[in-house]
Structure 1
């Protein structure tokens, strides 16, 4: 998987480029979201890649996180780094990645998956809903006007 680092770094920039229109607070390039080496090596994180004809076309990870103390479950799996190359979108690649991550979580007795998506990212929301996710919370922000 470490041999995939150059492609995964390109995918990371694809995630950032896709999210930039929804978040004016993302810094100018160069910017990085992930410590990809940690994603690959950490025991509480599973990274999955999708491959077609020897070419990486998608990625995603599940990271086991502690749940809030008042919830029924003690841990959940947070999904991130969800990316599919544009020419492979709409072919079920994302759904297969999510299913692989779901199976990984089940094997670790995790019964809840969570992820974040920008409210204005309608295409992503529809894709996640097709994969069985439901809207849960709305995060809100406001500038103090001191930008």
Structure 2
């Protein structure tokens, strides 16, 4: 999928240093929304394992040879009482600040939806901090709907 000098492709092992940097940027951006995130060093994902996993799809978007956005989908088992056995869980949605507002997140999600469809997964879910209004709006714009709220008591 290429247009306007943007190319969506599967992540490769040689992308790992950039993707690990994106992960740290994502954690830094999400820290204000979650006081329970441990102090550094902390990692959310095993990106290397996901790149090699047939039940996962890690995508990047390149612009003029540089990676500017990322996202993944992984097959997860649904709770036994739901009407589907498995679903595609999305995460690692990150776009460099200079490239936000250009529809790159929507491109990643559309490509991940195609991957999920190819795996027979009709349900897609993701987790977003409720107070992260720009992220919530971006996901709603591509069709996601709020579904459940997680609450905590300290």
Instruction: State how 1:101-116 maps to structure 2 within 5 Å.
Output: 101-116=112-127
Match for residue 17 of structure 1?
Answer: 28
Q: CA RMSD in A?
A: 0.6
Say which SS state the counterpart of residue 114 (structure 2) adopts: helix
Match for residue 122 of structure 1?
Answer: 133
Q: Does 1:38 align with 2:49?
A: yes
Say which SS state the counterpart of residue 48 (structure 1) adopts: strand
Any gaps of 5 or more consecutive residues in structure 2? 1-11
Give 1:100 shift.
0.4
Which residue of 39, 48, 57 maps to 1:28? Answer: 39
Give 1:114 shift.
0.1
Match for residue 135 of structure 1?
Answer: 146
Q: Which has the higher strand share?
A: 2
Match for residue 89 of structure 1?
Answer: 100
**What is the aligned length?**
143
Whole-Å separation in 1 of the counterparts to 2:14 and 2:55: 21
Instruction: State how 1:45-60 maps to structure 2 within 5 Å.
Output: 45-60=56-71
Give 1:71 shift.
1.1
Say which SS state the counterpart of residue 134 (structure 1) adopts: coil
Any gaps of 5 or more consecutive residues in structure 1? none
TM-score under structure 2 normalisation? 0.91
Say which SS state the counterpart of residue 110 (structure 1) adopts: coil
Give 1:122 shift.
0.4
Which residue of 63, 66, 89 maps to 1:78? Answer: 89
TM-score under structure 1 normalisation? 0.95
Give 1:47 shift.
0.4
Match for residue 3 of structure 1?
Answer: 14
